[in-house]
Amino acid sequence: MGELLEGSRSLLELLPAGTELTQGVPVVGGCRLDQIAAEAGTPVLVVAEDALRARAREYADGLAARWPRSRVVFASKAFPCTAVQRVMVEEGLGLDVAGGGEIIGALKAGVDPRLVVLHGNAKLPDEIALAVEHELGLVVVDGPDDVDRLEAAVPAGRVVDVLVRVIPGVTAETHDSVLTGHDDSKFGLAPTDAQALIRRIEASGSLRMQGLHLHVGSQILQTEPFAESVAAIARLGEFPVYDLGGGLGARYTWADEPPSVAAYLDTLVEASRAHLPKDAELIIEPGRSMVAAAACTVYSVVTVKRGRHTFVAVDGGMGDNLEVALFDQRFEAGVVGRLDPTHHEDDELCQLVGRHCESGDVLVRDVALPRPAVGDLVVVPATGAYCFTMANNYNGNRRLPVVFASDGSWRTVVRRETWEDLLRRDVE
């Protein structure tokens, strides 16, 4: 039973803040997960709206208290759902967008275009056209080609504010696929190349050089790389704006110990005070750490096979969570209705797998589940970041719905796809 001890810990530690247990059932945003599943169907992504709003305020208030001339912009790519973007807007945040669809969603969410930051290492002409048309606040220039397209798109008499993305040369401890600040990154420019592009922009009649942007990576569980990156870009000179990116890690498992938001902000601000102009505007772009813990996914068990391993297959998988297959991300799970300690003695070491035709379609390896059976509901915490983002139609999968739970009631903000949706783009 030694292998099962980790599974016996309370899943409440990982479920959205404010979650309680009633008869072994998690109550998220005042709503029982079994009742949501019965009405919305499974799989379903459940967002605790109050927890989401509280996290946004924690970031915005915390940064403002430490550096008054500052701005928090939510990295939409972490959860590019219009309802989530709207929450951020209502809490006073700006939005970071990395493509045309995220721009459209941000505008629908009611964002002030001046608070939008556009990213992308290969921005398409129509995305640049959208940015110019809607007068987005900042365009992060990733290289000379961005400058070429921007200058061609900006109408006479208009000026677009830009930041230059710089590779800080900092390698953080995280998965290779989400490293962005190392010397071999596809994003941004090495400092020497950045200097040449800065001079070109400063001579442009349609672009205005506002400052620098950096990003170290994602799911970073130490603060030191953030401080190192600030020091690295400070050598390029003084500018009105510094966008220090995001990257703070989230807690997916009991073993994860990400820095607190306060510790993260302290590190950034201390480094900024040491290296950047005191009157500069600081921008940060939290994504994963903003939304991961605010949501969980509920599945139904379809099949249980006991043999050399116990395989528990659910009605979702890599169609709604690609984090495991792409980034080896570890999640935890529990059986809804049997999360209280009285069931721990029945824990069985299981492989929680999906329904898709790939051996790599595994949600959680070696997870302790009490007497799993067909028809059980299984909850996986910390699915608010990148799961909705990368949801797909593999094997004709219909993408799952998103519901917001708050004050004892819930509402659907993204409906489940239908069979008709899957055929909608066919032309014959």
For 296-314, what is each residue's pLDDT tens digit? Answer: 999 999 999 999 999 999 9
Domain co-membership, 35 together with 68:
no
Domain end point (choices 241, 265, 290): 290
CATH number assigned to the domain comprising residue 415: 2.40.37.10
User: Closest Cα partner for 246 from 308, 174, 189, 317?
Assistant: 174
33 and 65 part of one domain: no
Are 93 and 226 members of one domain? yes
pLDDT at site 218:
76
Conformational region of residue 232, where left means phi above 0, alpha means psi within -120 to 50, and beta covers everything else: alpha
Residues 59 and 138 in one domain: yes
Answer whether residue 333 is part of any domain: yes
Q: Are residues 32 and 124 in the same domain?
A: no
Six-digit token string for 110: 């009611």
C-alpha distance from residue 149 to each of 139, 152, 186 (Å)? 12, 5, 19
Annotated catalytic residue, options 31, 81, 350, 357: 357
pLDDT, residue 4, reads 42
CATH of the domain at 64: 3.20.20.10
Residues 275 and 396 in one domain: no
If asked whether residues 21 and 86 sit together in one domain, one would say no
* 169 domain-assigned: yes
> Is 275 found in the same domain as 301?
no
Q: How many independent structural domains does the chain possess?
A: 2
Q: What is the DSSP string of 43-90?
A: SEEEEEHHHHHHHHHHHHHHHHHH-SSEEEEEEGGGS--HHHHHHHHH
Cα-based distances in Å from 411 to 45, 108, 207, 351, 377: 12, 19, 44, 32, 20
Last-in-domain residue among 233, 266, 290: 290
Domain end, chosen from 260, 290, 320, is at 290
In-domain check, residue 211: yes
Same domain, 220 and 257: yes
Q: What is the pLDDT of residue 186?
A: 74
In a domain, 415, yes or no: yes
Contacts of range 202-209, beta carbons closer than 8 Å, 24 or more positions apart: 204/147, 204/151, 205/159, 206/150, 206/151, 206/154, 206/158, 206/159, 206/160, 207/147, 207/150, 207/151, 207/154, 207/159, 207/160, 207/161, 207/162, 208/159, 208/160, 208/161, 208/162, 209/162, 209/164, 209/239
Range of the domain at 359: 2-48+292-423
pLDDT in tens, 281-298: 999 999 999 999 999 999
Is residue 428 situated within a structural domain?
Answer: no
In the chain, which residues have pLDDT < 50? 1-8, 172, 174-181
Query: Catalytic residue at 357?
Result: yes
